[in-house]
Structure 1
Amino acid sequence: MQWRAWDLNLKVRLFGELITHTFFWMYFPFMALYFSDTFGKDVAGLLLMVPPLLGMLSNLFGGYLADRVGRRFTMLLSIFASTSMFALFAFSPSPWVDYIAFIGIGIAGALYWPASSAMVADLTTEENRRIVFATFYTAMNIGVVAGPVLGSFFFVHYRHELLLACTVIELLFGLAIFFLIKETLPDHIRQEKAKERFSLAQQFKSYAVIFRDKVFALYIGAGILVAISFMQLDMYMALYIKEHVFDQTLFAWKDWKLTVGGTSAFGWLMGLNGLLVVLFTLPVTRWFAHWSDRNSLVVSSILYGFGMFFMAFTTNIWLLFVCMGVLTLGELIRTPVAQSFISKYSPEDARGQYMGASSLQFSIGRFIAPITIGLSQWLSPLSVFSVILAFTLVSAYLYVVLFRMIPSKETN
């Protein structure tokens, strides 16, 4: 799908989400350190468990709103809420107000994404959906790569100014959506939904129907296993690299050499992951465009699992780079396919809710993922990486079972 053929809604949101996501990552990675310094590690650990749980509920509610009152309204509600929370954060008189604002920003962000994904699905054909989702994923990861680098300076030295800038950027994005973006929820669905009584009970009933969908429940289960494995990038893998990868020469020129090991080696590996995602999301999506959803999801799980597993056999930084390349390929194959599959599979009148429910696989996976840290106290690195591989292989099997349960036209 050529850029000139994109709907104005998509163009505005692509640039807006690129900029807002970059500013988000200029402050977000440093919040755990900030709260640890302010409240102490024990209290901060408990406080930081709250946002993901509230985010899960907010994701579900965002999907419900997107299907009932519209994608545009839900995104505007999210953005203006985050604008007010950034302003509160910028002028906060105490760390506890900082924490409340931090939670508010997280809740507002979780409201936004189901509506955003549903709007992409509304405006694209099944043929072009993967490449559009891949473009949005690339934009998001540009923010993930650039944001922390900029934030390492601005958050430390100019936190108040950074938060003011975030407030202004969010406000401008909200105004752009208000004036330039049109609603994409079909009128007949909105009129039908308007006849239903608005209540939390009705929302939970709607999601109960979704989760009784055996195919979708299986999809969520497989996704949770993949998410648990994916979260190991900054959990067990980080611990393994820190404890087992000792100083070694990465580059050498005459009398000069660059040595990496432990935390610095982990930084290089994560930098490679981010760089590969930014550079190769769109090419990989095009290369695998003719693969079925089933084959893409199965192969991506296997690649990711073995890329992680083979790390157990080496501490050589260059071989670890190869492993990172393999697992990143799995990530790049999976992401646009997973998003397009949900938009293809979900009914048109419940697309937002399916998108919101789909996000649970990442929230639940992130909640369970730290189990590997506990296992590492009792098991060898090979055993822990074997557990991670098992998660991905089981997820691949569940995807095979899933696609046997739906009509063959859905597997293409």
Structure 2
Amino acid sequence: MEMLGKIFSRFHPVAWGVIIGTFFARAGFYMTMPYLAIYLHEVKGLSPELIGTILATSFLVGTLASFFGGTLSDRVGRFPVMVVSMLGWAGVFALFSLADAVWAFLVLSALSGLGRNVFEPTARALLTDITPCEQQLSVFNARYFAINLGAALGPLAGVMLGSAHSTLPLLITAGIYAVYGVGVAVLWKVYGEPKRQGSGERVSFAETVRVVFQDKVFGLILLGNLFVYSAYAHIETTLAQYLGSAPGFVDGVQIYTYLLLTNTISVVLLQYPVIHFTKKWSALRALTTGGVLFAAGLWGFGLFDHLFLLILAMIVMTIGEILCFIIGDVIIGQLAPENLRGAYFGAGGFPFLGQSAGPWAGGLLLGWLGFGQGPLVFGILMLLTLLAVPCFVGAQRRYRQEF
């Protein structure tokens, strides 16, 4: 009990609430959404191109909403934005279970992206608000651990509940999100809105845009992340379609589940060793290395058809994920002025344009080249991912000049 008390005293109670809620929310997300592409193809009979468009809609709308949601949280507070967006997201998943027409899936996919990308940057800004600078890497490490623990259990639950053919998991996820939204409201009531330096200043939206997007280092990081996020999106979309339909895979759904499980277990096991190994590196060097590993792992999905080699490719990609995503959040928190932290984290969602373009491009390549052309399809996607490298190198050079 004493040890448990020490663990929970390490971070602010609100931070623990967000971390625990993140675990359950991600478990629900990965119980349903990764299998949506398979569900739409096998149950609804939609083409790869149309499925890619539906999934891309979520990323596109989310990208456009992210900056406005983060900026709104700077003005009205973190908690109200988080409560409304999470409860709205719960409603979207409930409606997903009732949808049948293509237009309904398009609209709900858009609303799902809206809820996710308004909530996520606001939650990350809140964690930065309530956590001392020297503990921020640790708190984002803990959050990322929760994300991947949920992502490890979610797909297993999805398989057991038949997410590729059933709507029950969607209703379960809706319930999880509703409970999380109520939990955030309780934390708001108990602890109140965190005080931030400069939070009383009324900065216009135009001034916010000017400050954020004139930050050259931040801009180059965003551009590089555009290509990295595109690569990550293929795990949930293009890879699922490819393994589910490509010749040579007898049970693609099961293989896909193994790869998702590999991804999440690898993050849990490798997260702290990787961060420890690279702690003497500059943050931007870590981002650059992560981009290269992302590209290499992505190509491996198209090159290999043996489960062991596919798992190896996923491990390589996972190390890139650890470097890019954990370090990326810390960098944004350090670059952002306190009174514009929500706007910076919101602008950090603009690389989700890559997650919008990724499923669309992946669907087009599979439709044009065919499911039997894995090396070519994923080779093209690898080259697109490598465009992140010169962006991160440029950001590192400019950072040295300015700081």
Would the TM-score normalized by the shorter structure come out above 0.5?
A: yes
For residue 135 of structure 1, report the CA deviation from its aligned partner.
1.3
For residue 223 of structure 1, report the CA deviation from its aligned partner.
0.8
Length-normalised TM-score, structure 1: 0.79
Contact 2:23–2:146 (CA under 8 A) maintained in structure 1: yes
2:12 corresponds to which residue? 7
The 5 A counterparts of 1:106-121 are 106-121=113-128
| Equivalent-residue separation in structure 2 for 1:178 and 1:104 (angstroms) | 24
2:198 pairs with 1:189: yes
Aligned AA (2:231): S
| Equivalent-residue separation in structure 2 for 1:157 and 1:381 (angstroms) | 30
| Equivalent-residue separation in structure 2 for 1:4 and 1:19 (angstroms) | 21
Contact 2:291–2:385 (CA under 8 A) maintained in structure 1: yes
Q: Relative to 1, partners in 2 of residues 1:162 and 1:40: Cα closer, same or farther, differing over 3 Å?
A: same
1:252 corresponds to which residue? none
Contact 1:226–1:391 (CA under 8 A) maintained in structure 2: no
2:257 corresponds to which residue? 267
Larger mean Cα displacement after TM superposition, 113-122 or 230-239 = 230-239
| Equivalent-residue separation in structure 2 for 1:82 and 1:73 (angstroms) | 14
1:398 corresponds to which residue? 391
1:59 corresponds to which residue? 66
Larger mean Cα displacement after TM superposition, 202-211 or 355-364 = 202-211
Larger mean Cα displacement after TM superposition, 79-88 or 229-238 = 79-88
Contact 1:20–1:170 (CA under 8 A) maintained in structure 2: yes
2:181 pairs with 1:179: no
Aligned AA (1:178): W
Q: Relative to 1, partners in 2 of residues 1:154 and 1:169: Cα closer, same or farther, differing over 3 Å?
A: farther
Length-normalised TM-score, structure 2: 0.81
| Equivalent-residue separation in structure 2 for 1:381 and 1:343 (angstroms) | 38
Larger mean Cα displacement after TM superposition, 286-295 or 114-123 = 286-295
The 5 A counterparts of 1:123-202 are 123-152=130-159, 153=161, 156=166, 158=168, 162=172, 165-166=175-176, 168-186=178-196, 188-193=197-202, 202=204
For residue 102 of structure 1, report the CA deviation from its aligned partner.
6.1
Aligned AA (1:232): H
Larger mean Cα displacement after TM superposition, 373-382 or 263-272 = 373-382
| Equivalent-residue separation in structure 1 for 2:180 and 2:310 (angstroms) | 39
Contact 1:20–1:169 (CA under 8 A) maintained in structure 2: no
Partner SS for 2:148: helix
Residue among 13, 23, 28 paired with 1:18: 23
CA deviations over 1:367-396 (Å, ceiling 9, x no partner): 245324534645964444443333343312
Unaligned runs of 5+ in 2: 1-5
| Equivalent-residue separation in structure 2 for 1:370 and 1:149 (angstroms) | 27
Aligned AA (2:180): E
Q: Relative to 1, partners in 2 of residues 1:400 and 1:381: Cα closer, same or farther, differing over 3 Å?
A: same
Larger mean Cα displacement after TM superposition, 46-55 or 152-161 = 152-161
Q: Relative to 1, partners in 2 of residues 1:271 and 1:58: Cα closer, same or farther, differing over 3 Å?
A: same
| Equivalent-residue separation in structure 2 for 1:93 and 1:241 (angstroms) | 25
Aligned AA (2:190): L
| Equivalent-residue separation in structure 1 for 2:174 and 2:300 (angstroms) | 45
Partner SS for 1:192: coil
1:218 corresponds to which residue? 220
Please tell me whether Structure 1 or Structure 2 has the larger radius of gyration of its CA atoms.
1
Q: Relative to 1, partners in 2 of residues 1:32 and 1:81: Cα closer, same or farther, differing over 3 Å?
A: same
Aligned AA (1:358): G
Aligned AA (1:189): G
For residue 344 of structure 1, report the CA deviation from its aligned partner.
0.8
For residue 274 of structure 1, report the CA deviation from its aligned partner.
2.3
1:308 corresponds to which residue? 298
Contact 1:87–1:164 (CA under 8 A) maintained in structure 2: yes
Contact 1:63–1:356 (CA under 8 A) maintained in structure 2: yes
CA deviations over 1:41-74 (Å, ceiling 9, x no partner): 2677655554333222321111111211222232
2:360 corresponds to which residue? 370
For residue 220 of structure 1, report the CA deviation from its aligned partner.
1.4
2:129 corresponds to which residue? 122
Unaligned runs of 5+ in 1: 197-201, 248-259
| Equivalent-residue separation in structure 1 for 2:99 and 2:382 (angstroms) | 47
| Equivalent-residue separation in structure 1 for 2:363 and 2:104 (angstroms) | 31
**Identical aligned residues as a percent:** 24
2:338 corresponds to which residue? 348
| Equivalent-residue separation in structure 1 for 2:377 and 2:43 (angstroms) | 33
Larger mean Cα displacement after TM superposition, 315-324 or 326-335 = 315-324
Select the structure with the greater relative contact order (CA < 8 A; seq sep ≥ 6). 2
